Amino acid sequence: MPSDHASGFAPWEDADATPLISFDGVTKRFGAFTAIDNIDLKIYPREFFALLGPSGCGKTTLMRMLGGFEDVTEGTITIDGQNMAGIPANKRAVNMMFQSYALFPHLSVADNIAFGLKRSDMPKSEIQGRVDEMLRLVQLQKFAKRKPHQISGGQRQRVALARALAKAPKLLLLDEPLGALDKKLRQETQFELMDIQEKTGTTFVIVTHDQEEAMTVASRIAVMDNGLLKQVDTPDRVYETPNSVYVADFIGDVNIITGRAAEVGEKTQLIWAEGATPITGMTGSRVAQGEPASFVIRPEKVSINKTEPEAANKVQGKVIDIAYLGNMSTYHVALPDGTIVKSQTANNRRIARRDITWEDQVWLSWTDTAGLVLRD
Amino acid sequence: MRRMTSFNVVSLTVGFAFLYIPMLILVIYSFNASKLVTVWGGFSTKWYGELLQNEAFLDAAWVTIKVGLISSTIATILGTMAAFVLVRSGRFFGRTLFSGMIYAPLVMPEVITGLSLLLLFISIGLPRGVMTIVLAHATFSMCYVSVVVSSRMASFDRSLEEAAYDLGCTGWDAFKSVTLPIIAPAVISGWLLAFTLSLDDLVIASFTAGPSSTTLPIKIFSSVRLGVSPEINALSTIIIAIVTVGVITASITSKRAIVKQQREEQMATP
């Protein structure tokens, strides 16, 4: 399958590519609770891999197993061809950036960065040079002598990153690295992270519950739920072709219309309401004729008009709510059977010129390739 | 500022008078020229001079300091280890029992602690002297250290240690270069507490001291039984002076540190 990833970097599509990390049938139990349930996963060198899911889905446990902070109950984890069973955290070529940053409060910024180097086989004479290099990478040369409590939150985050990268690990683990930053700083830092990842060529595995963050930074995303991998794919495919209603619902905003699949082919028709014209959409995974299924479509792919348009799918309804977000508006439209469908449009005209308002009868329409029919 | 009510003024005065008048009287009488403790015979510092000539008191003071330094160091090491195990090792069989046993000596009457230690030393045939006082003091003050240190350990961010392991530390290295420096204030205050307790102790030391090893509290107590001498007043005044200077220095230092930290934190916000 061809990739539409901009840089053409897609080792996961190459059957001959050697993965850096592979999970084979990995299970982790805490007493009777199964945190990770029989996971198989391959992560390739230079990837920026995101583990995404709600809290308690097992993403942090999966990462901590890579770091050597949790052992594996069943199955094996291999990093760079080496079975990691029984290898403690301090013997792995893996470094971690902690959610709390875990900067050593009694050491200066430079000493924090040098901490791992002093415990490696790097000659003493080279350590200072490497520390300076890391300080340059995160642009903190001026703060080398400060203590962690003497710098701002964003700077602390960069010190934590520099410290974790100083030993040039094969793999860097980032546990909610931007969680403590405010929104603006977080967005800037996302690009900085991507930049640094590209410069150093390190494989990054990031844990996050913020799907926008995962979409922005990652080459691939693994969506997790209850210790299972629901889907592992590129951000665009996770968004455009989710393999389950769970993933569709978890990533971004989505309209879900439930019904029964009919005429399964390249496209599927969904019978959703008595007497209504069936909805046509792309056929998703595991859809079977006559079985219950759901049609999922993103709000921005639904057009809203006052007059009946020419389109493959169209339904009529009444505007019950309008969410004005400034750059765009979301219209909540109630269909005759009570289903609510959201339509999102860019506000490229001033609000005063908007011709659709509350209680209006409108037509919603979309093409036959805009949505997806998925098995429930 | 709110004005104080007359009730507050009275209770403040009475309260402080209650606390400090006895000490004030002691300090005043230490400068008494008369040999009779209760009769004022003019100002003099001669008792301080005599005190410095009194070998028995100086020896006792030296024993007390030696016992304090050694026993509080032992207590700090053992107490920190105990705190570490109790906070860190999670649930293990008998954990509740152990943590209860750590705190039990805090509420145990000193007479009982002293007596049981005496019986132990006799039964294992350990001759009583400086060594037995050190052991006894280390035993009871270790609990205080572990209480102080474990409260600090409980709020210690585990990920700091994980970060140390992650960066290549072994267990001992992580403790030495990350955990210990961070919990150091608690360890130091535990040590100071143990040292103070040891200096202060009369009961347990009386049980465990031998004829050749008299601590200052024992010495003072036994000489007072023969009548209060002005020398004792002088000695007590010196001790009060040392404690006062120590407390004032400590509070100024910690206040300065807080101000400095606040200033630096303000500087940090861009």
Chain B interface disruption, residue of A60, A65, A70, A96, most B CBs within 10 A: A96
Taking only residues 194 to 253 of chain B, the set having a beta carbon closer than 8 angstroms to any beta carbon of chain A reads none
* pLDDT higher than 80, residue B34: yes
Chain B residues touching A95 at Cβ < 8 A: 166-167
pLDDT at B261 (0 to 100): 78
Burial-class residue A110 by CB neighbours within 10 Å (0-12, 13-18, 19+).
Answer: buried
Contact (Cβ atoms closer than 8 angstroms) between residue B133 and residue B210: no
Q: What H or E segment, with its residue span, contains residue A304?
A: strand A303-305
Quote the tokens at residue A261. Answer: 């699949």
Interface membership of B42 toward A (CB under 8 Å)? no
Candidates B157, B168, B169; nearest CB to A102: B157
* pLDDT higher than 70, residue B210: yes
Sort strands A171-175 and A203-208 into parallel, antiparallel or unpaired.
parallel
CA distance A20 to A56: 26
* pLDDT higher than 80, residue B148: yes
Contact assignment for B182 to A105 by CB distance below 8 Å: yes
CA distance A158 to chain B (A): 14
Q: What is the CA radius of gyration of chain A?
A: 24
Helices (H), chain A: 59-67, 109-118, 124-137, 153-165, 183-200, 211-217, 235-240, 245-250
CA distance B179 to chain A (A): 9
Q: Which amino acid, residue A165? A: L
Chain A interface disruption, residue of B160, B167, B175, B265, most A CBs within 10 A: B167
pLDDT at A43 (0 to 100): 95
The answer to ipTM > 0.90 is: no
Report CA-CA distances (Å) from B201 to B49, B62, B84, B188, B235.
26, 15, 27, 20, 17
Phi, psi for B47 (deg, rounded to 5) = -70, -30
Report CA-CA distances (Å) from A244 to A229, A247, A294, A375, B104.
12, 5, 9, 7, 59
pLDDT at A1 (0 to 100): 35
Chain B residues touching A152 at Cβ < 8 A: 268-270
DSSP three-state, residue A306? coil
Q: What H or E segment, with its residue span, contains residue A228?
A: strand A228-233
Contact (Cβ atoms closer than 8 angstroms) between residue A243 and residue A285: yes
Contact assignment for A119 to B267 by CB distance below 8 Å: no
* pLDDT higher than 80, residue B237: yes
Candidates B160, B261, B269; nearest CB to A102: B160
Contact assignment for A102 to B261 by CB distance below 8 Å: no
Helices (H), A142-262: 153-165, 183-200, 211-217, 235-240, 245-250
Q: What is the CA radius of gyration of chain B?
A: 23
Judge if pTM exceeds 0.90. Answer: no
pLDDT at B11 (0 to 100): 92
A151: closest chain B residue by CA = B268
Report CA-CA distances (Å) from B258 to A304, B253, B262, B265, B269.
61, 9, 6, 11, 17
- The residue length of chain B stands at 270
Contact (Cβ atoms closer than 8 angstroms) between residue A276 and residue A236: no
Contact assignment for B165 to A120 by CB distance below 8 Å: no
Closest CA to B89 of B166, B20, B150, B1: B150
CA distance A177 to A158: 10
Q: What H or E segment, with its residue span, contains residue B159?
A: helix B158-166
Q: Which fold has domain B53-231?
A: MetI-like fold (1.10.3720)
DSSP three-state, residue B87? helix
Phi, psi for B269 (deg, rounded to 5) = -70, 120
Quote the tokens at residue A89. Answer: 């955290």
Counting residues of chain B whose pLDDT is more than 70, the rounded percentage is: 98
Neighbours of A190 (CB within 10 A): 20
Phi, psi for A266 (deg, rounded to 5) = -70, -35
Interface membership of B160 toward A (CB under 8 Å)? yes
Phi, psi for B5 (deg, rounded to 5) = -75, 160
Closest CA to A168 of A200, A210, A127: A200
Chain B residues touching A90 at Cβ < 8 A: 165-170
CA distance B200 to B117: 18
- Chunked in runs of 10, what are the mean pLDDT values of chain A (376 residues)? 55 90 94 93 95 92 94 94 92 93 95 95 93 93 92 92 94 91 88 91 93 92 94 94 92 91 86 86 85 92 92 92 89 91 87 78 93 88
pLDDT at A5 (0 to 100): 45
Candidates A98, A116, A155; nearest CB to B168: A116
Burial-class residue B167 by CB neighbours within 10 Å (0-12, 13-18, 19+).
Answer: buried
Contact (Cβ atoms closer than 8 angstroms) between residue B235 and residue B58: no
Which residue segments constitute the domains of chain A, with CATH numbers given? 11-245 (3.40.50.300), 253-375 (2.40.50.100)
Candidates A90, A163, A167; nearest CB to B165: A90
Quote the tokens at residue B11. Answer: 């209770």
Chain A residues touching B163 at Cβ < 8 A: 96, 98, 102, 104, 163
Phi, psi for A2 (deg, rounded to 5) = -75, 150
B61-114 per-position pLDDT tens digit: 999 999 999 999 999 999 999 998 888 877 778 888 888 888 888 888 999 999
CA distance A97 to A185: 18
A116: closest chain B residue by CA = B167
pLDDT at B257 (0 to 100): 84
CA distance A375 to A360: 33
CA distance A163 to A112: 6
Contact (Cβ atoms closer than 8 angstroms) between residue A132 and residue A212: no
pLDDT at A111 (0 to 100): 96
Burial-class residue B98 by CB neighbours within 10 Å (0-12, 13-18, 19+).
Answer: middle
Q: Give bridge partners of residue A175 from the DSSP assignment.
A: A207
Chain B residues touching A88 at Cβ < 8 A: 165
Q: What is the mean pLDDT of chain B?
A: 88
Q: Which regions of chain B carry the CATH code 1.10.3720.10?
A: 53-231
DSSP three-state, residue A351? helix
* pLDDT higher than 90, residue B39: no
User: C-alpha angle A344/A350/A352, rounded to 5°?
Assistant: 100
pLDDT at B226 (0 to 100): 82
pLDDT at A96 (0 to 100): 95
pLDDT at A276 (0 to 100): 84
CA distance B103 to B140: 10
Sort strands A328-334 and A340-346 into parallel, antiparallel or unpaired.
antiparallel
CA distance B181 to chain A (A): 7
Quote the tokens at residue A82. Answer: 């080496």
B149-185 per-position pLDDT tens digit: 999 998 899 899 999 999 999 989 999 999 999 999 9
Give the DSSP per-residue string, B103-123. HHHHHS-HHHHHHHHHHHHHH
Closest CA to A222 of A51, A46, A42: A51
Interface membership of B90 toward A (CB under 8 Å)? no
Quote the tokens at residue B22. Answer: 């006895």
Quote the tokens at residue B232. Answer: 């004792």
DSSP 8-state class, residue B40: -
Candidates A99, A104, A150; nearest CB to B160: A104
Show Cβ contacts of residue B235 under 8 Å, excluding neighbours closer than 6 positions: B51, B57, B216, B220
List residues of chain A with CB under 8 Å from any CB of chain B. 67-69, 88-90, 94-96, 98-100, 102, 104-106, 115-116, 119-120, 146-147, 149-152, 155, 163-164, 167
